[in-house]
Amino acid sequence: MTTRDIQAHLVEIYGVDSSPTLASQVTKEVSEEVEACQQSCDLS
């Protein structure tokens, strides 16, 4: 899913207009949080 896909999804579902840059920044931050959790949590 591209950042433009995420942007379009936010508009379609929530009526929120955002930039592809914002979607990219949020995706990066969430990815970092997920990675940190995966490293500290035993999910096996």
User: What's the pLDDT tens digit per position in 1-44?
Assistant: 888 898 889 899 999 988 888 888 989 999 999 999 988 886 65
Residue 10 identity (one-letter amino acid): L
Residues 11, 21, 23, 13, Cα dihedral to 10°: 0
CA within 13 Å, CB half, 23: 16
Residue 33 has what pLDDT?
Answer: 92
Q: Tell me what pLDDT residue 44 has.
A: 55
Q: What is the CA radius of gyration of the chain?
A: 13
pTM of the model: 0.65
